[in-house]
Structure 1
Amino acid sequence: MEQPLLIVAARYSVARAPLNTEMISDSSQCNAVWLMSEFAKRTGLSPAAQNPRRYLWTDAFAVCNFLELFQQTADQQYQRDAIALIDQVHLVLGRYRDDDTRRGWISGLADERARHHPTLGGLRIGKRLKERGQNETFDNRLEWDRDGQYFHYLTKWMHALCRAASVTGDSRYTTWAGELAQRSFEAFVRRSTSGEVAGLTWKMSTDLKRPLVPTLGLHDALDGLITFWEIEHAIQDHTDLNDLNQALEKLHPLCLNADWVTDDPLGLGGLLFDACRLAQLLRGNHQREIRLLEDILQACCRGLAALFASRYLDQPTTQRLAFRELGLAIGLGALPVIAETIKREECLRDRPDLRRPFELLLSHKPLCEEIIDLWLNHAKFNDESWDAHRDINEVMLATALMPHMFLSTSRHQNTT
């Protein structure tokens, strides 16, 4: 039986009143309200559960969604939900698991100080299984279900904290983002024998003391560079950013003339998200950053061509993952933001190496709505292909429906 959608007038309160099943709306906002309401109840956010289920990637998108709903409706409950979610993530994922022999905050700080600096030890992924022990045999398949820390999840959380600071005016969030950036760079960076930065480890142990997977993240250096730059723009007082500035200088060379091409829908969406933020953060004639933006857009064109050639999107939905395609939809939703930025910023106009790939990407914008419509139908009927990853599917679908907050930076907000 199809799930009824919330109407805006029947917004959910802290007590989560029963849904109005007599009225159904298909507007993006109403669908997003319904999706986020279900997510909040099921994961123990509101009403608050004693043992809430938190997952860092999903929760970063969720914070942005609640903030977007607050801005669209002026309903203070959504802002309270965003703040409550941030607090829950720090209390749950900033501490060791209940089944870990270690106790307390990952940072090792005493409780009172740790609450004032909840990101100093990083944040766990929130996977189903605890991390692999030092003497356990590596199992590539099993590792996907094991806990630890991912750099690209941490950068998503930094972005969410910057968005929260922009909306609430609370500078603690950018401070926490900066502290997380500095700690994560120190832990994840891998150096060559000569001491030069060679890349970022894809997955680290919860205490950030050992790599769990030695592989370097494909886009982690790019994601880190742009996210750290976003934090630098967001923090009003730059006196404590010396370490972050050094990290930016180390990451820049890794991103020059790099090959970002991927045919993974989620990876493509992430590249478009990075391009969107980079375009918004550009100030003046920064040739190095403009060339990087051109490289990213060109990589997205080649990646999309490879995705279409693979005919992945023609496969039955039972063989596909909704959240990966919704990541692409979110990225395609960034194209109007990039277009507006190119129009506004003189340094981006009349650059053929930027205009050509962008116009090609813009021609594929209708794919965004196709992906949303497809998976929204699965969400309404709650079928098996949707339920297997319901939390992340719901939240990323809500982001695809109303992407403004997620796609914005502190410099330019809600430009779509």
Structure 2
Amino acid sequence: MPRSSPDLLTHFLHAQETLYGPITTLPSSASTWTPPPHSGGHQGRYLWTDAIGVLNFLTLHHIHPSPPSPTHYLTLATRLIHTVHNTLGRTRTNPPTYLPNASPAHPLSGGLRIGKPSSTGPDSDGQYHHYLTLWMFALNRTSVASGEGKWNDLAVELGKAIHPRFFVGQKRDRMVWKMDVGLEKVLVGSEGNLDPLDGFVVFRLVQAYKQSTIPQDVGDGKGVLEDEIEDYARILKRKGRQRVAADMLDLGMTLWTAHWFTGREEWADELVGRGGEVVYDLFEDDRCLDRDMRFRLAFREFGAAMGIRCVAEQEAEKDRAVDLKVYADRIVECWKPHMNDAEEDELTPITQVMYASALIPGAFQRGFFGPEPVVPERTLYD
């Protein structure tokens, strides 16, 4: 995986520091660092934003040419993980308690709150499946980067806790979008476009890492999270070909998710191909970057840039990949003049961390830390 240019790294660090402070020159040891409450949301923590924050720290751990110490940014990532678990893995009460079914020994057995500022109302706190799977991915990547399996074990714990709560119907063949904080009541009953795909991909990555650490003569031959993965596969087969949305963030996350299996599984190659066509249509036919910036959201476009770069990195020798990378560059260049002097608002934290990941996807990319654990091949569509 190529190293990044000094200019990209400078902008990456600046974006990360808008949330997490002077991370290159901490006044004390990284092991005692407390992440400032600047990620938005309840008590300064927001699950989606901090998941990307963790991944950005892992990227820095791998690419920074002169860190204060060899494990400096890895330690910051794990400190942020602990802070999120201590905040969003507990109730909003004073004093806070562990979420239902969680405990000090099993801190993620109750899931993790979104971190919404309000406890009630149409945009209340609760739990989102796609936020939780992104956090599972961040935990998995922390194990890959550090070689310590305990982080992936937490991802397994979280996956087992949340999975049954988001499945409904007599045959458990449909998912819901949002659950309440305690994972007891459905708050939004519609099915997210990407939720089954997120689960199918992330749970398999977590499973593969766990299986790579288990001696071959141990166990019953059935992989951890196997039943859960089969549930996601069943929903994807019921839905048919995955819909590729023209929404920038949805499109980017689709490309990112599918790129983990391109060149290996037909459904992923097909999905990335159709995603590339949507990218072309958005930029060349709809001229999406010519629209008034007042009516666009930077973080959603940065999601598209991140996904595009992940695909381009895997298919660097294909003409399509080269063309797609141009569109990622155009998104970043379009917003770059507005990133340092923009007025702060409630979207500033998520915008800044996603700007960093759009510049250097790093830990989001397959193979960034080296060879990946072998993931058993699966067929989605006949």
Structure 1 and Structure 2 fold alike (TM over 0.5): yes
Find out whether 1:367 has 2:327 as its counterpart: yes
Question: In the alignment, what sits opposite 2:28?
Answer: none
Find out whether 1:29 has 2:9 as its counterpart: yes
Q: Secondary structure at the match of 1:121?
A: coil
Cα displacement (A) at 1:260: 1.7
Cα displacement (A) at 1:305: 4.8
Cα displacement (A) at 1:370: 1.3
Find out whether 1:262 has 2:283 as its counterpart: no
Cα displacement (A) at 1:361: 5.5
Q: Is the 8 A contact 1:261 1:302 kept in 2?
A: no
Question: In the alignment, what sits opposite 1:120?
Answer: 109
Find out whether 1:389 has 2:347 as its counterpart: yes
1:333 pairs with one of 309, 312, 327: 309
Comparing 114-123 and 218-227, the one that deviates more: 114-123
Q: Secondary structure at the match of 2:178?
A: strand
1:183 pairs with one of 133, 149, 161: 161
Find out whether 1:293 has 2:268 as its counterpart: yes
2:174 pairs with one of 153, 176, 199: 199
| Cα separation, 2, equivalents of 1:369 and 1:213 | 36
Name the amino acid aligned to 1:365: K
Find out whether 1:279 has 2:262 as its counterpart: yes
Name the amino acid aligned to 1:324: R
| Cα separation, 2, equivalents of 1:239 and 1:207 | 32
| Cα separation, 1, equivalents of 2:43 and 2:181 | 19
Relative to structure 1, the CA distance from residue 305 to residue 48 in structure 2 (aligned partners, 3 Å threshold; closer, same or farther) is: closer
Question: In the alignment, what sits opposite 2:377?
Answer: none
Relative to structure 1, the CA distance from residue 77 to residue 216 in structure 2 (aligned partners, 3 Å threshold; closer, same or farther) is: same
Relative to structure 1, the CA distance from residue 48 to residue 247 in structure 2 (aligned partners, 3 Å threshold; closer, same or farther) is: closer
| Cα separation, 2, equivalents of 1:157 and 1:47 | 19
| Cα separation, 2, equivalents of 1:30 and 1:49 | 21
Q: How does 1:206-245 map to 2 (within 5 A)?
A: 206-235=181-210, 236-237=213-214, 239=219, 244-245=225-226
Question: In the alignment, what sits opposite 1:65?
Answer: 56
Q: Is the 8 A contact 2:133 2:199 kept in 1?
A: yes
| Residue segments in structure 2 that go unaligned for 5+ positions in a row | 23-31, 373-382
1:150 pairs with one of 128, 131, 139: 128
Q: Secondary structure at the match of 1:364?
A: helix
Name the amino acid aligned to 2:98: W
Identity %: 30
Relative to structure 1, the CA distance from residue 254 to residue 155 in structure 2 (aligned partners, 3 Å threshold; closer, same or farther) is: same
2:298 pairs with one of 322, 335, 338: 322
Name the amino acid aligned to 1:260: R
Cα displacement (A) at 1:233: 1.0
Name the amino acid aligned to 1:87: H
Find out whether 1:170 has 2:159 as its counterpart: no
Deviations 1:39-80 (A, max 9, x none): 1139xx955458951111111111111111111225432112
Relative to structure 1, the CA distance from residue 295 to residue 93 in structure 2 (aligned partners, 3 Å threshold; closer, same or farther) is: same
Q: Secondary structure at the match of 2:124?
A: coil
Q: Secondary structure at the match of 2:176?
A: strand
Q: Secondary structure at the match of 2:315?
A: helix
Relative to structure 1, the CA distance from residue 149 to residue 364 in structure 2 (aligned partners, 3 Å threshold; closer, same or farther) is: same
Q: Secondary structure at the match of 2:45?
A: coil
Cα displacement (A) at 1:115: 3.0
RMSD, aligned CA: 2.8
Paired residue total: 343
Q: Is the 8 A contact 1:182 1:243 kept in 2?
A: no
| Cα separation, 1, equivalents of 2:219 and 2:92 | 34
Find out whether 1:77 has 2:75 as its counterpart: no
Question: In the alignment, what sits opposite 1:20?
Answer: none
Q: Is the 8 A contact 1:276 1:337 kept in 2?
A: no
| TM-score normalised to structure 1 length | 0.75
| Residue segments in structure 1 that go unaligned for 5+ positions in a row | 1-7, 9-24, 133-142, 283-289, 344-357
Name the amino acid aligned to 2:114: I
| Cα separation, 2, equivalents of 1:128 and 1:294 | 39
